[in-house]
């Protein structure tokens, strides 16, 4: 029976992937972009196979930890919590029904694939091939897929954050917005607070947003802060009392925990936030960092692409500008969220590999922002 259930789940995933791909290809006018989407699909699920092949070589990886926690748990209710516990809570029924970790990889890869396709649709399939060649290249970098195809938070957060972007684009500030924010809070509370703050900033500073919507967002922000902040401190950071001594004790323990952690550690005490932002965005790089594995070489080559992309983007906006006021709300949200998430992650970045994984929280938003704001060709200079 267990084998039959696994096979049925695989069939459902393959059928859904085929449906999503077929529907997307029908919307695409140009053959070259159809080829790109097919290649993107093969790369995405190809990276799933790579991750599964390397699974036993990646010591103490999240996917195995989530699965083992769920499989060994005696009660589903006892697993409910924030972050890692919530991930084990999600997969508990599957693990108890005998669904293998390999099949769950396929399930989560399917979720993230749908998230990517939804993002492409927001970028507009019809003009994607002519306007956004740079962005299309960036979406083919392997680690973008490597960290979203596993049994982990990134796959779910990618889908949720793209769905959030679509709601903001449509200006549907209703119960769906609250549901998405709740799911994000359960998976990564600190990301939730940043996204909520970003939405608050964008909506409150937007002159075209109605007073009613501003009041709705204000109530959501206040309620979330009052209700969820204590939950975040108690159950995620494990700070039982809100006092200066408790915060100092947490800081001391965190600094001890992060010291020389992993194969590519970063000293928080001996680096500035600007240094850690650089590490977060483009490290490791050949000749600037000692590369110890084939995986690090792959990431380093990717980062060379990112460096050239960033140089071009900086040059473009310095020379031709970009008016924040003229941006739509979802573009403002994508930009503000990306900046705040970069600052957040850089503030506690203690490992280069961790930084490479954290980028999945803001790179899709940055790529979306660039896909809309960058022109297909450089505009002519004013004379």
| pLDDT tens digits along 170-210 | 888 888 888 999 999 999 999 999 999 999 999 998 888 88
User: If you average pLDDT over residues 354-377, what whole number do you get?
Assistant: 87
More confident residue, 30 or 336: 336
Residue 241 has pLDDT above 90, yes or no: no
Provide the CA 339 distance to its chain's centre, in angstroms. 14
The pTM is what?
0.90
User: If you average pLDDT over residues 82-97, what whole number do you get?
Assistant: 93
More confident residue, 106 or 32: 106
The SS3 of residue 329 is helix
Residue 48 has pLDDT above 70, yes or no: yes
Residue 383 has pLDDT above 50, yes or no: no
CA distances from 101 to 3, 61, 109 (A): 13, 13, 12
Provide the CA 23 distance to its chain's centre, in angstroms. 24
User: If you average pLDDT over residues 319-326, what whole number do you get?
Assistant: 86
Token couple for 330: 């979802």
Residue 377 has pLDDT above 60, yes or no: no
* DSSP one-letter code for 380: P
Surface-to-core class of residue 310, CB atoms within 10 Å of its CB (0-12 exposed, 13-18 middle, 19+ buried): middle
Spatial distance between the Cα atoms of 18 and 275, rounded to a whole number of angstroms: 44
Spatial distance between the Cα atoms of 367 and 122, rounded to a whole number of angstroms: 12
Taking a C-beta distance cutoff of 8 angstroms, is the pair 10, 106 a contact? yes
Which residue in 40, 60, 288 sits closest to 144, CA to CA?
Answer: 40
Which residues neighbour 277 within 8 Å (Cβ) at sequence distance 6 or greater?
342, 343, 346
Q: What is the pLDDT of residue 296?
A: 84
Spatial distance between the Cα atoms of 84 and 5, rounded to a whole number of angstroms: 26
Q: What is the pLDDT of residue 128?
A: 65
* DSSP one-letter code for 99: -
Residue 87 has pLDDT above 50, yes or no: yes
**pLDDT grade for 265, boundaries at 50, 70 and 90:** confident
Q: Where are the alpha helices (DSSP H) in the chain?
A: 2-27, 31-54, 62-72, 76-79, 84-96, 101-123, 125-131, 133-138, 142-146, 153-170, 175-187, 189-204, 211-231, 244-258, 273-282, 294-320, 329-347, 352-358, 363-373
Residue 379 has pLDDT above 60, yes or no: no
Which residue in 254, 240, 239, 271 sits closest to 346, CA to CA?
Answer: 271
Taking a C-beta distance cutoff of 8 angstroms, is the pair 351, 264 a contact? yes
Within 13 Å and on the Cβ side, how many CA atoms surround 264? 20
**pLDDT grade for 20, boundaries at 50, 70 and 90:** very high
Which single residue is written with the structure tokens 């997307």?
24
Three-state secondary structure of 118-179? HHHHHHCHHHHHHHCHHHHHHCCCHHHHHCCCCCCHHHHHHHHHHHHHHHHHHCCCCHHHHH
Residue 69 has pLDDT above 90, yes or no: yes
More confident residue, 381 or 66: 66
């Amino acid at each position: 029976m267990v084998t039959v259930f696994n096979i049925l789940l695989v069939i459902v995933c393959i059928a859904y992937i085929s449906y999503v791909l077929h529907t997307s290809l029908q919307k695409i006018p140009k053959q070259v972009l159809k080829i790109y989407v097919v290649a993107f699909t093969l790369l995405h699920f190809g990276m799933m196979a790579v991750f599964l092949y390397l699974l036993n070589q990646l010591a103490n990886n999240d996917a195995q930890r989530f699965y083992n926690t769920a499989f060994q748990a005696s009660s589903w209710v006892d697993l409910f919590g924030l972050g890692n516990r919530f991930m084990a809570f999600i997969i508990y029924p599957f693990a108890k029904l005998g669904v293998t970790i390999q099949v769950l990889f396929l399930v989560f890869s399917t979720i993230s694939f749908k998230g990517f396709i939804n993002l492409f649709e927001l970028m507009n399939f019809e003009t994607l091939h002519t306007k956004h060649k740079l962005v299309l290249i960036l979406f083919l970098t392997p680690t973008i897929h490597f960290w979203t195809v596993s049994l982990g938070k990134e796959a779910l957060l990618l889908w949720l954050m793209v769905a959030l972007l679509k709601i903001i684009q449509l200006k549907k500030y209703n119960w769906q917005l609250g549901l998405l924010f709740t799911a994000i809070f359960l998976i990564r509370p600190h990301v939730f607070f940043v996204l909520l703050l970003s939405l608050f900033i964008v909506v409150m500073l937007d002159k075209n947003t109605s007073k009613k919507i501003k009041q709705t967002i204000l109530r959501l922000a206040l309620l979330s802060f009052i209700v969820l902040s204590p939950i975040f401190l108690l159950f995620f950071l494990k700070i039982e009392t809100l006092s200066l001594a408790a915060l100092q004790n947490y800081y001391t323990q965190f600094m001890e925990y992060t010291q020389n952690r992993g194969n590519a550690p970063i000293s928080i005490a001996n680096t500035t936030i600007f240094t850690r932002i650089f590490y977060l965005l483009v490290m490791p790089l050949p000749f600037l960092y000692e590369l110890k594995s084939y995986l690090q070489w792959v990431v380093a080559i990717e980062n060379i692409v990112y460096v050239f992309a960033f140089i071009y983007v900086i040059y473009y906006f310095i020379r031709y500008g970009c008016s924040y006021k003229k941006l739509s709300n979802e573009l403002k949200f994508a930009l503000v969220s990306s900046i705040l998430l970069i600052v957040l992650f850089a503030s506690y970045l203690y490992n280069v590999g961790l930084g490479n994984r954290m980028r999945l929280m803001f790179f899709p938003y940055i790529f979306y922002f660039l896909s809309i704001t960058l022109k297909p060709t450089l505009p002519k200079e004013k004379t």
